[in-house]
Amino acid sequence: MKHPHLTRAGRRAALGSLILLSSLAATAADATSYFPSLSADESGEYTDWLSSRSYARHAFMPSAGDPEDGAAVFWNLRGDSIDFAVVVRAEGWVGLGISEAGGMIGSDVALFAASDPSLLVDSYVIEDRSYPLRDDCQDWKLAGSPIVENGWMIVEMSRLLDTQDFQDLAIENDADLWAPPAHIIVAWGDDDFVSYHGGKKARNSVRLFADHSNDLTETQALLKTLEEGSDGHFDCLEDENEIPAEETTYHEVCWTIDDLNIDLPEGQDLLTMIGAVPIITEETRQFVHHFTVYLQADCSEQSTNDMKRSMIYAWAPGDEGWALPANVGFPVLDGTDNQAVHIQIHYDNPSFKTGLKDSSGMRFYYTYKEREHRAGILELGDPWVTLGGEQIADGHTKYEFTCPGKCSSTFLGQMESDGGSQGVTILSECK
């Protein structure tokens, strides 16, 4: 684990400001500009289709192998349903998925293969790099006739926002800045049937419900809200970390409160975080798979492995950051248990490129005054897969664990009407 001292703090702060200014200048792309490496003749099928359709929202997701190739995703909200279209350069198959956290695991996927053009398979993934399993209930539906022509594959589909099917992921309203965006994944290939895709994959996080009818982009609206409501910010950024020429790498970096050079008012040892924005190095953006952020006692290995440390953020591509409601704040760097910020970055380098240097990280906005309500993150599950000490048996075995009411009430408290402590309001959830 790297523990950087801020000898280059000024340069890194300038870099963070430059990247944020670049985000501020960005505007919504014209869908005709997607697939920039193709000539007008090569783009004919795509632009002809585009001129005949009217989708309110769209996004281009660069592939892991080639930033000028990728997937164009379009969508419309329609009552309690959503319509999608996915466009890729392929001749065999394509899969569009709603992901729990930006990867394959836990994703809800619609699969189309040109070998059976009348069929769209509703499926789900329970293990990374595993073949999707067919849903018992087929909730994804084809809309119109797919186009498979001259190297293009264009598939339109729809489904209910909430299918009430436990094998599907419900699509939640993500319009508010404090709500997590939807994670979209796409994979494609030229084989007759779904197969390993290598670098032919793309992913992004988008706000499916966001209203962009005003003059501000989402990033501009977010930064305006945070800058007007904060007393300051601090950056936790990598310092030109060299990304290994390996398909997947986890890199850890940590900063103490002294490293961050935060000027606290005299007699005060607590900050209230009100939001955060990612700062991603543009040249290495496609290689930053995701990262998680924790508060812990210090930057020692013991603190990193301590169960008492708490997660405060998890980022995946397309997530532009968040701002808490005006009366809610997140206490940080308070007391002996929260004196350091730890980030674990997952790099994805399937092409084994060398010489890549990354300075990505986060900018956190804070106030000196506490807000009416304190926010926190509750993690549920078994992150180390210890099964409560139970040994995993040989062969195909299923394990189920439950959290009874007495368990949840211990951590969340009872409602005041029941004689207990104040209840908990859930702002958002990420599965």
Domain ranges of the chain: 9-20+218-381, 29-206
With 50 as the cut, is the pLDDT of residue 28 above it?
no
Q: Is-same-fold flag (9-20+218-381; 29-206)?
A: no
Phi-psi region of 357 (alpha: psi -120 to 50; beta: other; left: phi over 0): beta
Q: Which residues contact 86 (CB under 8 A, 6 or more apart)?
A: 71, 72, 73, 74, 94, 96, 154, 155, 157, 186
Mean pLDDT of the chain: 82
Cα–Cα distance measured from residue 395 to residue 310, given in angstroms and rounded to the nearest whole number: 35
Q: Regarding predicted confidence, which is higher, 246 or 257?
A: 246
Cα–Cα distance measured from residue 330 to residue 377, given in angstroms and rounded to the nearest whole number: 9
Residues 383-411: what's their mean pLDDT?
70
**For the whole model, what pTM was predicted?**
0.59
Tokens (6 digits) for 94:
């394509």
What is the percent of the chain with per-residue pLDDT over 90, rounded to a whole number?
Answer: 38
Q: Which residues contact 292 (CB under 8 A, 6 or more apart)?
A: 311, 313, 314, 315, 343, 344
CA distance from start to end of the chain: 27
Tens digit of each residue's pLDDT (9 = 90 or more) over 123-139: 988 776 677 889 999 99
Cα–Cα distance measured from residue 185 to residue 204, given in angstroms and rounded to the nearest whole number: 7
In terms of Cβ atoms closer than 10 Å to its own Cβ (0-12, 13-18, 19+), residue 199 is middle
Decide: 234 and 262 in contact? Cβ < 8 Å.
yes
With 50 as the cut, is the pLDDT of residue 213 above it?
no
The second-level CATH assignment, the architecture, of 29-206 is Sandwich (2.60)
| 3-state SS, residue 46 | helix
Lowest mean pLDDT among 25-39, 146-160, 302-316: 25-39
Q: What is the CATH number of domain 9-20+218-381?
A: 2.60.120.310
| Confidence grade of residue 410 (pLDDT, cut at 50, 70, 90) | low
Helix H or strand E segment including 411: helix 405-412
| Confidence grade of residue 65 (pLDDT, cut at 50, 70, 90) | confident
For residue 299, give the amino acid letter: C
Cα–Cα distance measured from residue 213 to residue 268, given in angstroms and rounded to the nearest whole number: 42
Q: Regarding predicted confidence, which is higher, 306 or 14?
A: 306
- What pLDDT score does 411 carry? 63
